[in-house]
Structure 1
Amino acid sequence: MFQTYEEIKRWRHDTMPSVADDHFQLNAFHDQVMYQTVGIAKTKVESEQGTTPAPFAFFLMGSAGRFEQSVWSDQDHGIVFDGVDQKYFLKLGEEISHGLAIVGYELCEGKVMASNSLWCQSVDSFKEQIVGWLEEASWQSLRNFSILFDSRVLNGDEELLLQLKREAFSVLEKEPHLYARLMENFEFIKKGVGVFGQLLPEQRQGMKGEIHLKETAYFPYVNAIRILALRNGVSAAPTLERLVSLADTHPFVNEYEQDFRKLLDFRLRFRKEATNYEKVHLLPIAQLSKQDKQALKYLIKRGNQLFSKAKSVLKEEGAL
């Protein structure tokens, strides 16, 4: 369909306005843009390096992995392969990262990309990495583990990624004390509503008067459902899919699904005109009507409530 990254970039630019009002259409479009980009990268590397030497999966992480991107997004992705030729797949990862940057996805500042050997490994090596992260249980190693868990395959063999998630579930089943460390890791949530019920704007340079939607409103939902998904062996990455999967064992999550959907819609309604990735999560409070402020405060409080309930569930189950 497309021959160059520049063609995909133009398609992305021309089509984005028509899908920016609908969360599901927008994320399906992001998937198509990235899928086409990966296709060009794969063809280019095969022409230079030869046929792909082993089965592999190119997977998305972060908001892309959870099918929760806004209009702008940076890159979070990896490659898992069934073989030993890391050099080939690192080359593929470099080309994919290069292509996605041209198309409109900023390079990840933390280098969570398939061009980084940490995120481009064989199945066996990744399994060892997962065990190592959980054994170390430092803030950074658990953050890396959580990033990997929020993943889904965009191109390639889905079973390879499932093997990694099964390894994670197996370790956590044997070492339930790790949930306490994970919960500590997830609890770093920026406060969005003050003691007097006011929205709390950012105080950082260049952000004053703005509230960081991702850190204050969005993370409590995502983190709460992620820890429950880990506890219940749910391999799906999207928060909405996790909510559906958890509904039978934890019926209370049903009442938060609509809140999370409203939050996704709220973000699109106010930030679809953002001009870059940095600005897409920052919402000027002055832009909001009184009704909008009330709605946002409600959604923030509900997210914090959900996080508290998830923590209570793990305590009741003896995992904390």
Structure 2
Amino acid sequence: MKNSIAERVGDFLKGYPPFNMLSYKTLLRIATEVTITYLEKGDTLFKKNDACHDNFYIVRDGAINLYYSHDDVKNIMNIHDTGDVFGLRPLITKEPYKLTATANEESIVYAIPITVFQSATDKSNKIQKYLITAFASNAFDSYTAEETGRIFVDYLPNTSQEIVNFQTANYTKSPITCSVESSLKEAAKKMSDHKIGCIVVIDDAKKPVGIITNSDIKNKIATGLFPIETSVTNIMTSPVMTSKKGLTIADGQLQMIKHSIGHLCITKDGTVNSKLIGVLTHHDVLVTLGNNPTVILKEIKRAKRTKKLRAARLKGSVLLRSYIEQNIPISHITNVISQINDAVTIRAIELALKKMPTAPPVPFSWLALGSQGRNEQLLFTDQDNALVFEDVPENQYAETQSYFLGLSKLVTITLNKIGFEHCKADMMANNPEWCKSLTEWKTQFKNWILKPDEKAVLLSSIFFDYNHVYGNKELVKDLTDTIYTTLEKTDLFYKFLGRDAIKSPSPLGFFRQFLVEQNGDKKELFNIKSRALMPLIDAARILILIKRIRDVNNTSERFEKLAELEPNNKELYQSCSYAFKALSKFKTKQGLLHDNSGKLIDLETLTKEEKLKLRRCFKPIQAIQEILKIRFDLKNFI
């Protein structure tokens, strides 16, 4: 007899990882044991420090907050919605939960029994890799830098990288060791002589009994806890984690993540009871994997030609795709890709400087604008940039500007060859309008602020999101000081910005249908950038400006900062932050799927679940626009 409930559960699960990696027969076996849980808004599923449940969870409908409390203040770390898996800790460790899970709204979750799931998937390497990866990216408290710094897994499923993962790990076969009778001073001297970051402590039978790293010396010797002459046994980490030779890159990496370590001892039989024959380090894994942020950044810094620079940035795109496929948090993705984009720009400038006939006549600063300036540029889009140079006498201005225009032309051409299109509106540093002295830039911003008009507001939406990338940072600080001083002299500018921020209403019509484009080749397409992302970007910008908050450019981070500053609107701002991240991830997925910017979406290609997710993200847009109307008295402002 068929179990219709289990079939419905199975049909849902098969659309989301890791369940989409299973056969339908296996999926039904799991679905039969699933418990369906209904939660009202605010209901708690589990609390921080609770003992692990016998289940992990996937959201069927609604959304689940994961947060920690500090000084009675809730700090939301993530909001999971339809298809998201959470509560993975019992699958990896037996530790209590580190976060509290509550319903953000009326929700339904499926509880997956751990024993049933493990029994059904025990022999699937792909499933195990996925779960370890998901755990590594979500399970640790993201506010604990020491733990998050250890997360480095970068699997690339369905690519040649999969082959690399299953290659035999290339470990150090002649590890540097010291005896248990050694002093820390002797061990440290060996580490220094061999220029290594760790040393293995062995007994008389050459079996590993402990390991000492640079961090151990820093934390236990430099702080005065132990004298430099102390025995290595007082400093070493013991017991060591071991494996036998022949382990794959994937196996080694998984063990490092699971045990939060950076070194794995290789012994004859894979246990601590046999002779040490090698050491696998975090660095060994990174070098083999190649498509890792650390490795990509090194390639960028070493690139001597545009061709090499483009190849390194394309690896960043492959990394982006793998992160999206693994469901890595979008905040982590944007941080990584933003670092790669900035590194590419820096290297493009350095290469351009080498081509210039002379060194720069005066200090200058290169500014990234728009999405790169907000650290939100994930896909290849057009470039927006500007250059500010130190003031010079009037009779030297034309010559100085000409030098920097020449430099900027080389940089923008390089960026174009890498994959960043020229800005169609010519908002680039090779345009004399956007390559000026500090005083000229100050005058420009003063005019925009004190004499606002349609053009000023349009340009402000680009230029107020600038971010220093290269050169003299003091020039940027001086410019920023002038901007905030000028903003204190007027309220009219905020009205113009506010009006611009509410010009695009909620993306849903009266009957909750999506508002799509009506004309031309874009007809019937939904513009997720202009109708959903830009209203949030514009709202965050004006609200953070009026608070005089500097150096917070990212839209989601702006909303999170606003949540701190205005506790009475905390829930709305956090919802805006979450919605922006979810929409950004959705746009990125569409861009990767169709090899474009992702901003124009054919709604007919979306599933019902995807449309529901989008609608949920639209909820805070209308609410934040109502706040702007009231705060800046916009109802009668034309």
Global fold match (TM > 0.5): yes
SS class of match (2:488): helix
Q: CA deviation at 1:315?
A: 4.1
Conserved 8 A contact 1:142-1:185? yes
Q: CA deviation at 1:151?
A: 0.7
Percent of aligned pairs sharing the same letter: 27
User: Distance between the aligned counterparts of 2:418 and 2:544, measured in 1?
Assistant: 33
Conserved 8 A contact 2:555-2:577? no
Tell me which residue corresponds to 1:27. Answer: 338
Tell me which residue corresponds to 1:158. Answer: 473
Tell me which residue corresponds to 2:601. Answer: 283
- Larger-Rg structure: 2
Higher relative contact order (CA 8 A, sep 6+): 1
Conserved 8 A contact 1:57-1:161? yes
Tell me which residue corresponds to 1:249. Answer: 565
Q: CA deviation at 1:270?
A: 2.5
Give runs of aligned pairs for residues 41-190 of structure 1, distance below 5 A: 41-45=352-356, 48=357, 50-84=358-392, 85-189=400-504
| Farther off after superposition, 131-140 or 6-15 | 6-15
Q: CA deviation at 1:180?
A: 1.1
Q: 1:160 to 1:304 in 2, by over 3 A?
A: farther
Q: CA deviation at 1:306?
A: 1.7
AA partner of residue 3 (structure 1): K
AA partner of residue 292 (structure 1): E
Q: CA deviation at 1:3?
A: 1.4
**Residues 1:213 and 2:533 aligned together:** no
The count of corresponding residues between Structure 1 and Structure 2 is: 313
User: Distance between the aligned counterparts of 1:218 and 1:70, measured in 2?
Assistant: 14
User: Distance between the aligned counterparts of 2:369 and 2:384, measured in 1?
Assistant: 5
Q: CA deviation at 1:154?
A: 1.0
CA RMSD of superposed structures (Å): 2.2
Q: CA deviation at 1:177?
A: 2.4
TM-score for the superposition, normalised by structure 1: 0.90
Q: CA deviation at 1:190?
A: 6.0
Specify which structure has the higher proportion of strand. Answer: 2
AA partner of residue 40 (structure 1): L
> Could you report, residue by residue, the CA deviation over 1:20-72 in whole angstroms, capped at 9, with x for unpaired residues?
32333333322222222222122222xx2x11121211010011111111312
Conserved 8 A contact 1:70-1:272? no
User: Distance between the aligned counterparts of 1:199 and 1:60, measured in 2?
Assistant: 33
| Farther off after superposition, 101-110 or 247-256 | 247-256
| Farther off after superposition, 294-303 or 96-105 | 294-303
Runs of at least 4 residues of structure 1 off by over 6 A? Answer: none
Aligned residue among 264, 280, 299 for 2:584: 264
Unmatched segments (≥5 aa) in structure 2: 1-301, 325-332, 393-399
AA partner of residue 18 (structure 1): L
Specify which structure has the higher proportion of helix. Answer: 1
| Farther off after superposition, 10-19 or 148-157 | 10-19
AA partner of residue 590 (structure 2): F
Conserved 8 A contact 1:62-1:76? yes
| Farther off after superposition, 120-129 or 295-304 | 295-304
Conserved 8 A contact 2:353-2:359? no
> Could you report, residue by residue, the CA deviation over 1:225-279 in whole angstroms, capped at 9, with x for unpaired residues?
10011101122222133223323322322342222222222222222233244xx
User: Distance between the aligned counterparts of 1:164 and 1:184, measured in 2?
Assistant: 25
Tell me which residue corresponds to 1:200. Answer: 515
Q: 1:245 to 1:54 in 2, by over 3 A?
A: farther
User: Distance between the aligned counterparts of 1:34 and 1:287, measured in 2?
Assistant: 35
AA partner of residue 564 (structure 2): D
Aligned residue among 554, 573, 577 for 1:238: 554
User: Distance between the aligned counterparts of 2:449 and 2:437, measured in 1?
Assistant: 18
TM-score for the superposition, normalised by structure 2: 0.47
Q: CA deviation at 1:91?
A: 1.2
Tell me which residue corresponds to 1:16. Answer: 317
Q: 1:69 to 1:190 in 2, by over 3 A?
A: farther
| Farther off after superposition, 223-232 or 164-173 | 164-173
SS class of match (2:564): coil
Q: CA deviation at 1:191?
A: 5.2
Q: 1:186 to 1:195 in 2, by over 3 A?
A: same
AA partner of residue 580 (structure 2): F
Tell me which residue corresponds to 1:307. Answer: 625
| Farther off after superposition, 299-308 or 146-155 | 299-308
Tell me which residue corresponds to 1:293. Answer: 611
Conserved 8 A contact 2:368-2:466? yes
Unmatched segments (≥5 aa) in structure 1: none
SS class of match (1:264): helix
